[in-house]
Amino acid sequence: MKKKVCVGLVIAVGLLMVCGSSVVAKTTLRYAFWDKNQQPAMEASIKEFMKRNSDIEVEVEHYSWGDYWTKVTTGLATGTAPDVFWGQLGYFPTMVTKGQLLNLQPYIERDKVDLSPFYPALVDVWKYKGDIYGMPKDWDTIALFVNMDMINKAGLDYPADLEWNPKDGGTFLKYLQKLTLDNKGRNALDPKFDSTHIVQYGFTGANEFNTLWSNFVWENGGVGVLDKPWGSEIMLDQPQAIDALQFLADLIYKYHVCPPMGATGTTASSWDLWAGGTAATITHGSWMLSAARVQTSFLWDVAPLPAGSAGRISCFNGLAHNIPANCKHKEEAWKLVKWMDGVESQKLMAPFGAAFPAVMDAIPIFLKGFTGKDPEHIKVFIDETANTGFWPTTDKWYQITDVMERELNLLWLGEYKTAAEAVHKIITELRSVMAK
C-alpha cells in the first residue's frame, strides 16, 4: 500500500510539472507567401513576433506563383488554407464575395488599430461593402528599368523625361531606335538597318496588364478595362485604348525595336531578355528590384515611364495579409497580421529592400538600404504614386484576364493585323462574361 501511495504521488507531481508554467502549450500558425526575394524580411519579422509571443509558433510556407494560388484557392474551399497568406487584388474580389476571407474590421475597431500610417489608397482597395478584409503589406508602381551600359555606349542621356504618342512615337521611340542594333552595329534609324538580324533591342515587355499595356492605355487618355472599380462596363474599345495597343504592336512590327512579346513565352522570359543584356529597357514593377540586383552583370537604373498625352500614369498595386474566414486560430492569426503590418515590424523589414513598405514612415529606412549596384533613381517609384491608374476590381477578373492575355498575345505575335481586330474579339467575349 505504501509503495502504491508513493508511486501515485510521483505521478501526480509529474503531471503538475508538465501542466505547470514551465511548459507552454503552443498554437501553430501556417504563413504562406510566393516571393522568395522577400523571405529574409518576412522571416525576420516572424522571428521577432515569436520572440514576443512564446505561445505561438509560425511555420513559413513558400510556393511559386502558380502553385501558391492553387494551394490557397483549394485550401479556402476545403478548409485547409494557411492561417495567414499574402493577398493579391486580382484574386481578392472572388474570395471576398464568396465569403472566404475574415472580416478584419471588427478586430481593427476592437484593438483601436491606427490606420493613418498607411497610404490611404492601400487601405481602400482592400475594402468590401465598407469593411476591411486585408491589412496592407506593401505597394508597387511601374517604371522603366534601363541598362545604363547600353545607354552610355550609345551616347544617350539618362531617360528622365521621354514622351510618346501613337502617331509618330515621340522621343520615346527615337530613344529606343538608337538603342536597337543589328549584327553590323547599325541602329534602327540607319537606312541600312537590318531588322532580320537584330542583336540588341531597345525595349521589351511582358503581356501583362499591370507591368505594360494598362499604363500606355491610361497615358493615352483611356479609362482602362472597366469603367470603375467593381464596374461592369468593358472600356477597351475606346479609341484611346485601341491606339495605345496599336502603338505597342508597332514597336514590334513597324519600328522593330521590341521582340514579339508572346514569342518569349512567360513574363520571366521577357525579364530575362533585359536582365541578360539583350534588351536595353523594360517596363516593370518595383518588386523586381531584388531580382535586378542579383541577375544583372551591367550598370542599371530605373527611370520614369514615358509620358503620353494624359501624362505619366502608373498602375498602383499593393499586397495585403489575408486570413481565411474559417481559420481555426483567428485571434492568433490576427495577432500575427497586426504585428507584421504594424509600424515597428514594417521598419524592421524595410532595410531588406525587398518591397516598398505600406507604412509611409518606413520608406526612408527602405531607401537607406539601397547601396552599391542599386539604382541611383529609385525614388522614381515613389514619384509614380502621384498619378496612378486603378486596378479593375471585379470578381470576374481572372475570366477577363484569360481572354485579354490570349487575344493580346496573338496581337503581339502578329496573328492580328491591327489592335482593333484583337479588341473586337476581346470585347465580344468579355461582354458575354460580364453578362453571366
Find out whether 94 and 395 touch, Cβ atoms under 8 Å: yes
In a domain? residue 4: no
pLDDT of residue 6: 44
In a domain? residue 2: no
Q: Phi and psi for 377 in degrees, rounded to 5?
A: -110, 40
Q: What is the average pLDDT across 266-289? A: 88
Q: Phi and psi for 418 in degrees, rounded to 5?
A: -135, 160
pLDDT of residue 66: 86
Together in a domain, 309 and 324: no
Which amino acid, 340?
Answer: M
Q: What is the CATH number of the domain that holds 264?
A: 3.40.190.10
pLDDT tops 60 at residue 57: yes
Together in a domain, 298 and 340: no
Find out whether 60 and 36 touch, Cβ atoms under 8 Å: no
- Per-residue burial over 90-114, b if 16 or more Cβ lie within 10 Å, else e, is bbbbbbbeeebbbbbeebbeeeebe
Choose the weakest-confidence range: 185-199, 336-350, 383-397. Answer: 383-397
In a domain? residue 374: no
Together in a domain, 428 and 289: yes
pLDDT tops 90 at residue 391: no
In a domain? residue 266: yes
| Average of per-residue pLDDT values in the chain | 91
Together in a domain, 209 and 351: no
pLDDT tops 50 at residue 9: no
Total-model pTM: 0.87
In a domain? residue 166: yes
* Closest among 354, 120, 308 to 214, alpha carbons compared: 308
Q: What is the average pLDDT across 386-402? A: 90
Tens digits of residue pLDDT in 112-131: 999 999 988 899 999 999 99
Q: In angstroms, what CA-CA distances link 7 with 16, 20, 274? A: 14, 20, 74
Domain boundary among 368, 387, 409: 368
In a domain? residue 412: yes
Together in a domain, 306 and 417: yes
Tens digits of residue pLDDT in 410-420: 999 999 999 99
Quickly state the pLDDT bin for 371 (edges 50, 70, 90): low
In a domain? residue 187: yes
Reported in sequence order, the residue ranges of 9-155 that DSSP labels E, i.e. its strands, are 27-33, 56-62, 84-87, 127-128, 131-132, 135-136, 138-139, 142-147
DSSP one-letter string for 158-226? P-SS-B--TTT-HHHHHHHHHH-EETTS-BTTSTT--TTSEEEBS-B--S-IIIIIHHHHHHTT---SB
In whole angstroms, give the CA distance from residue 368 to residue 116.
23
Together in a domain, 304 and 351: no
Proportion of the chain above pLDDT 90, given as a percent: 82
Find out whether 86 and 31 touch, Cβ atoms under 8 Å: no
pLDDT tops 60 at residue 11: no
Q: In angstroms, what CA-CA distances link 245 with 58, 77, 165? A: 46, 37, 11
Tens digits of residue pLDDT in 21-37: 455 689 999 999 999 98
Together in a domain, 161 and 259: yes
pLDDT tops 50 at residue 232: yes
- H helix intervals, 237-342: 239-253, 267-275, 289-295, 330-340
Residue span of the structural domain in which 291 resides: 142-315+396-435
Together in a domain, 52 and 70: yes
Together in a domain, 257 and 171: yes
Together in a domain, 177 and 237: yes
CA-based angle 313:187:244, to the nearest 5?
25
Together in a domain, 165 and 289: yes
In a domain? residue 401: yes
Per the structure, the count of domains in the chain is 2
Quickly state the pLDDT bin for 324 (edges 50, 70, 90): very high
Together in a domain, 199 and 131: no
Find out whether 411 and 219 touch, Cβ atoms under 8 Å: no
pLDDT tops 50 at residue 1: no
